[in-house]
């Protein structure tokens, strides 16, 4: 598969994940009495979106017939890639909100770009190679 097609598919699924995360963050911060607790909302939103993300990555973004890794190794590597990407995004989020006094919603949005870049590279190079 051409890399441009893979990147386009990643952007499509990433956009869907962003919408899922935005909905979860909004629900938790506005409707479920987590007012102002952007950290809990952020963690919950990313975990929920990852279930969606794994399926699409496995079968549409990084499809291949000859996988070196079993499904359990893929899940382990996917969770590891998520952990690295999420940590980068989470630290970026805290820096923006606590250090630079950026709006919590804007910081959540900007963190998506940090997360997306790190997640794509980690999954491409490790999980679904």
pLDDT of residue 31: 76
Average model confidence (pLDDT) across the chain: 86
**3-class SS at 35?**
coil
Structural domain boundaries in the chain:
1-66, 67-128
pLDDT digit string, tens, across residues 37-71: 778 888 888 889 988 888 898 888 888 766 666 78
Contact yes or no for 89/112 (Cβ under 8 A) = yes
pLDDT of residue 63: 80
Contact yes or no for 85/119 (Cβ under 8 A) = yes
pLDDT digit string, tens, across residues 9-33: 989 998 998 899 889 988 888 777 6
pLDDT digit string, tens, across residues 81-107: 989 999 999 999 999 999 999 998 899
pLDDT of residue 35: 63
pLDDT digit string, tens, across residues 40-49: 888 888 889 9
* Angle between helices 3-26 and 38-56 in degrees, nearest 10: 140
């Amino acid at each position: 598969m051409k890399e441009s097609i893979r990147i386009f598919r990643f952007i499509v699924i990433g956009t869907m994940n962003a919408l899922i995360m935005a909905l979860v963050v909004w629900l938790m911060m506005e409707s479920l009495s987590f007012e102002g607790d952007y950290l809990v909302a952020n963690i919950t939103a990313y975990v929920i979106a990852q279930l969606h993300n794994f399926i699409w990555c496995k079968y549409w973004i990084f499809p291949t017939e000859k996988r070196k890794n079993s499904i359990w190794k893929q899940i382990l590597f996917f969770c590891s890639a998520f952990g690295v990407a999420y940590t980068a995004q989470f630290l970026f989020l805290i820096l923006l909100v606590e250090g630079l006094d950026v709006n919590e919603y804007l910081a959540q949005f900007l963190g998506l770009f940090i997360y997306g870049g790190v997640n794509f590279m980690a999954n491409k190079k490790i999980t679904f190679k």
